[in-house]
Structure 1
Amino acid sequence: MPGKILITGGTGLIGTRLSEMLIDQGYEVAHLSRDPDKFSRYKTFRWDVKHPHIDDDAIFYPDYIINLAGASVASDKWTDERKKEILNSRVDSINLLYSCLQKANHHVKAFISASAIGIYGDSGDRVVSEESTYGDDFLANVSKAWEAAAWQVKDLGLRTVILRLGIVLSDKGGALPQIARPVKMMAGAPLGSGKQYMSWIHIDDACRLFIRAIEDTQFEGVYNAVAPHPVTNKEFTEELAEVMHKPLVLPKVPAFAINLMMGEMSEVVLASQRVSANKVLQTGFTFEYNYLEEALDSFYEKEY
C-alpha cells in the first residue's frame, strides 16, 4: 500500500521527476523547503539547515524519507566558499534530520539517501564495486562525509539505503545539456584523453531505483546507481553526436584547457569511473535503459 514520502531536495533535477513518478504510483509526496511556495504542487514543510530548524509536523508526516539535498557540484567555480557549501549542504541536512528523528516519536520505516560514485576518485579503467577503496580528492571526501552522516540514521534502527549515483542523464538539466551544447553547435569534442570512463544512469531508472529502495526491504546499505554499461568520454561524445546527427569536427579538448576553464572542478569531467551495477542487478532490478544509445534516443530522437 503506497505511503507518505518526505523528500529533501525535492525541487532539484531528480527530486522533480521522482515526485511525479511517486504521485503516479499512488504515493503521497511532501517536500522540505527553506521557503515553502504556496503554489507548489506538493505539501511543503519548512526547514532551515543553516539555522537548524524543521517544522515539527514534518517528522511525523512520512513513512519514508528520501534525501536528495545538496548544493550543485557543477554549477559554480570551486572557490573555498563554494566547496564548503557543497560539503555542508549535504552533511548538515542529514545531521538535522537525524537529530529530529532521534527526538521524535515518528513512524518512519526507511531512510534513502543519495551519494555519488565520486567516492571512488579517479580509478582509471579498473572496474569498481561497492567494496572498492575510496578516492582522496575533494569529491571523494565529500561523498565519504555525506555517507558517514547517513549511517548515523541506521543507528536509530531505521533501514538505511545509500544510492551512489552516476552521471544522471536528463534533458532538463544536469550534465547532459552541458555536454550536448557544443555538439549541437558542431563544436563537440572528447574531453582530455577521452579515455576516461563515464558511469551514467537515465533519470527515470534512477527514480525507479529510489522507488524500489522504498518498496523492497531487501535493499539495505550501499548500492551503485549506474547503468550496466559505462562508456568512455570519447564514446559518449560520439554517440551523442550520432543521435543529434551532428559531425564531430574538433580534435580532443586538452586537459590543460579544461583545467584553465574549470580549475579544480575539472575533476568532474576528467576523472575516470568505471562502476559496476552488479549489486543492483542481483536484487532483480531491471534497467529500462541499459545502453547509452537507448538513453540518448529517449531525449533527442524526437528533435532530430
Structure 2
Amino acid sequence: MAGQLGTVVVGGGTGFIGTALCNSLRHRGYDVLAVSRKPGPYRITWSDFSNKGLPDSTTAVVSLAGQNVLDPVRRWTEGFKQNVWASRVNTTKYLAEAIQHSSTKPKVFVSASGVGVVLGRQGGMVQQLILPFYMGFGGPVGSGNQSMPWIHIQDIVGLFIHAIEKENVIGIVNGVAPQIITNREFATAFGKALRRPSFVPLPTFAVNLLFNEERGKIMTEGQKVTPKKALETGYSFKYPNITSAAKEFSKLIYADEQYI
C-alpha cells in the first residue's frame, strides 16, 4: 500500500544526498523507491526498473544519479569522462522514458544539475576535509579568492522537497546558499569550527596534479551563483550563512570520536 502522500522514485537514492533525501521523504509520509546499481531494501536496480517502470502510486521522480567528478582516486581519463557523462545523462533519460510510458503520470520530475558544494558530516567535501583541518593542515585552495557556491545538506534536501511539494517551482533552481563566499572565507569558517588554523594553502599546481587541470578548475576558479528562484518561491534556508553551517558541523564532529 502506498504511503499517504504517494511514492517518490529517486534515481541514485543511495548516495550522500540521495540517502538524506530518502530519509526525509519517508519521515514526511512518502513511500520512497531508490533506483540503484545494487539491490537492497526499498531499492530497485536500474535493469529491473527499465523492465517494471514506475509504480502506479508515483507522485514525483527525482534524478540524483551521477559519478563524482572530483573523486580523487579516479584519474581524469577519456573513459572516466565518459562514465561521468553516461552516469548523468543516461540515468536521467531512463527516468524520463519511464515517466513517458507510465499510464499514471507523476506530478513532478526533478533533476539535479549545478548544485554547489554540499556540506554535511556523512559525506561530500566536509568528510574529506575533516582530517587535514583537524591535523592543522587546512587552508584555502589556490589563491582562495575564487567564489565557492555551497549549501548545507539539510537545505539541498529541503530544496528538493520544496520543488516536489510547491506548484510554483518551475524551471531551474540553483542549489546554493544565499551567502556568496570565497574559498578562503570557507576555509576560515571551517577552521574556526574545528578550533584549528586554516592558513596552509593547497597550491593550484597541486590541485591540477591531483585532479587534472580540466576538472581542477572547478576548485581553483569557482563561480558566483545565487538561489534567486528558491527565495522567490518561498524557500527558507536553515543555514543561510557559512558561520551557522560550520557551527553545526563542529557540534556533530566533536560529538563523534571517530572523526577526532
Q: Does 1:253 align with 2:202?
A: yes
The amino acid that maps onto 1:33 is: S
Question: Mapping of 1:26-45 within 5 angstroms?
Answer: 26-37=29-40, 40=41, 42=42, 44-45=43-44
- Superposition pairs for residues 13-92 of structure 1, below 5 Å? 13-37=16-40, 40=41, 42=42, 44-48=43-47, 54-75=50-71, 76-92=74-90
1:8 aligned to which of 11, 18, 24 = 11
Normalised TM-score (structure 2) = 0.89
Query: Quick one: structure 1 residues 178 and 279, their matched pair in 2 at CA, closer, same or farther if it must change by over 3 Å?
Result: same
| CA deviation profile, 1:187-212 (whole Å, cap 9, x unmatched) | 11211110011111100111111111
Do 2:140 and 2:198's aligned partners in 1 also have CA atoms closer than 8 Å?
A: no
Matching residue of 2:251? 301
Which amino acid is 2:171 matched to?
Answer: G
Q: Tell me, yes or no, if the aligned pair for 2:172 and 2:229 is still in contact at 8 Å.
A: no
Decide which of 92, 95, 102 is 2:93's aligned counterpart.
Answer: 95
Question: Is it true that 1:173 corresponds to 2:118 in the alignment?
Answer: no
Preserved CA contact (<8 Å) 2:35 2:49: no
Structure 2 match to 1:112: 110
Using the alignment, how far apart are the partners of 2:137 and 2:120 within structure 1? 21
Equivalent of 2:224, from 250, 274, 288? 274
- What is the TM-score of this pair, normalised by structure 1? 0.77
* SS of the residue 2:54 aligns to: helix
- 1:218 maps to 2:191: no
Report how many residues are paired: 248
Give me the whole-angstrom Cα distance separating, in 1, the residues matched to 2:55 and 2:67: 23
Aligned residue number for residue 142 of structure 1 = none
Q: Measure how far apart 1:59 and its partner are.
A: 4.8
**Kept after mapping to 1: 8 A contact 2:140/2:183:** yes
Contact kept, 8 Å, 2:178 with 2:241, in 1: the verdict is yes
What amino acid is the match of 2:8?
Answer: I
Matching residue within 149, 164, 178 for 1:199: 149
Structure 2 counterparts to residues 180-191 of structure 1, below 5 A:
180-191=130-141
Residue type at the aligned position of 2:127: P
8 Å contact from structure 2 (residues 54, 99) kept in 1: no
Deviation of the 1:84 alpha carbon: 0.5
Offset at 1:281? 0.7
Cα distance change on mapping 1:231 and 1:249 into 2, 3 Å: closer
The 3 A distance-change label for structure 1 pair 213 and 302 is closer
Letter in 2 for 1:259: N
Sequence identity, in percent? 35
One-letter identity of the residue aligned with 2:246: L
Tell me, which stretches of 5 or more residues in structure 2 are unaligned?
255-260
TM-superposed deviation, 1:247 = 1.8
Q: Cα RMSD over matched residues?
A: 1.8
